[in-house]
């Protein structure tokens, strides 16, 4: 089985490639990545010398480029597509929505069109719980919940989801959509909450938390998400949507306090900053459909996953330093100045 993974040099995509190659000796991976600021070739460097190097192929390209995408299908026989490629940071989408529309909407359309023309037998589109909007104090998102995105990022992902749905309805294209809660784990770019808090805590710098810190997210360890995507790829019903969650609702303040406790750092490092526009109050995922149809169940508690994540960051300081430069640092500097 040869799988085209888009965005494979990013956080979740890289973890998925490692997961698939380690679990299935008959799987080959073609990784298409544009290598934006969050796409790092170093994330997959061990594959270049490891035992799985003959089953891994990297292509530098953009999913929004018709030539790049069609070229892959001409060169390789592709049995399945898993689309991780996306601009994904909410703060960046507030500053400039255009790249999010280009990659997340037009890129998905281009990928769908080519895969449909080539009669690819399986297409898995990776979406997010953010397309559902915000929950009140009770209840959880189900696959039938209305879409109500509140940021340019989530709006672009919702639009992409609608395109995937339309391709299934119009062309009977065998596509599946997955929507997942907040991921954490190795290789996550340090603009996201947990790696950013780890970095600042290690340097005894303030840990900025938006608003009152009571925004709630359901957290899932990244390899549990990879398990879900694998199950959707192999068992998912064409046209279906599957929610994945970690069954670990935490406020942002709880997450940061747990992180500080595991690192042995004082809570006095916490600093509350002005809330960001359109900040959703609560997400929570009902993944009972995925449990019933796919046999999905997260294998890590939040505390277990966080311990593994922090250990990985401690052991990979060189990786952390390599991504804490250039465009990322300039963006974060400007963002906090604007707050």
- Whether 84 and 63 have beta carbons less than 8 Å apart is answered as no
Polymer length in residues for the chain:
339
Phi and psi dihedrals of 303, rounded to 5?
-65, -40
Active-site residue flag, 91: no
CA–CA distance, 61 with 101 (Å, rounded to integer):
17
Active-site residue flag, 130: yes
CA–CA distance, 328 with 191 (Å, rounded to integer):
8
**Among 52, 130, 191, 218, which one carries the catalytic annotation?**
130
- In sequence order, the 6+-apart residues with CB closer than 8 A to the CB of 320 are 190, 195, 199, 313
Of the candidates 93, 251, 99, 240, which has an alpha carbon nearest to the alpha carbon of residue 164? Answer: 240
- Whether 20 and 3 have beta carbons less than 8 Å apart is answered as yes
Of the candidates 103, 98, 129, which has an alpha carbon nearest to the alpha carbon of residue 39? Answer: 103
**Among 18, 153, 167, 184, which one carries the catalytic annotation?**
153
**Among 52, 87, 129, 161, which one carries the catalytic annotation?**
129
Paired with 81 in beta bridges are: 4, 123
Active-site residue flag, 37: no
**What are the catalytic residues?**
129-130, 153
């Amino acid at each position: 089985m040869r799988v085209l993974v888009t965005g494979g040099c990013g956080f979740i995509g890289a973890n998925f490639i490692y997961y698939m190659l380690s679990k299935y000796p008959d799987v080959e991976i073609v990784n298409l990545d544009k290598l934006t600021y969050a796409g790092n070739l170093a994330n997959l460097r061990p594959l270049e010398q490891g035992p799985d190097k003959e089953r891994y192929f990297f292509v530098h390209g953009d999913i929004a480029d018709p030539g790049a995408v069609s070229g892959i299908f001409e060169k390789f026989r592709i049995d399945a597509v898993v689309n991780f490629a996306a601009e994904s940071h909410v703060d960046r989408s507030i500053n400039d929505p255009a790249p999010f529309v280009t990659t997340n909407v037009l890129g998905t359309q281009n990928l769908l069109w080519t895969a449909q023309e080539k009669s690819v037998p399986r297409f898995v589109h990776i979406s997010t719980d953010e397309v559902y909007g915000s929950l009140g104090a009770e209840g959880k998102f189900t696959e039938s919940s209305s879409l109500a995105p509140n940021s340019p990022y989530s709006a672009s992902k919702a639009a992409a989801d609608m395109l995937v749905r339309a391709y299934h309805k119009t062309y009977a294209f065998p596509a599946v959509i997955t929507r997942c809660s907040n991921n954490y784990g190795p290789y996550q770019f340090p603009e996201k909450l947990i790696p950013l808090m780890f970095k600042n805590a290690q340097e005894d710098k303030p840990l900025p938390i938006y608003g009152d810190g009571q925004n709630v997210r359901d957290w899932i360890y990244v390899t549990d998400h990879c398990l879900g995507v694998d199950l959707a790829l192999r068992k998912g019903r064409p046209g279906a949507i599957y929610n994945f969650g970690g069954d670990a609702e935490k406020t942002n303040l709880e997450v940061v306090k747990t992180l500080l406790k595991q690192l042995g750092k004082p809570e006095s490092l916490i600093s509350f900053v002005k809330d960001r526009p359109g900040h959703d109050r609560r997400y929570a995922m009902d993944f009972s459909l995925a449990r019933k149809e796919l046999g999905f169940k997260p294998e890590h508690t939040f505390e277990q996953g966080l311990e593994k994540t922090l250990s990985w960051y401690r052991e990979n300081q060189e990786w952390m330093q390599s991504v804490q430069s250039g465009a990322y640092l300039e963006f974060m500097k400007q963002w906090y100045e604007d707050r």
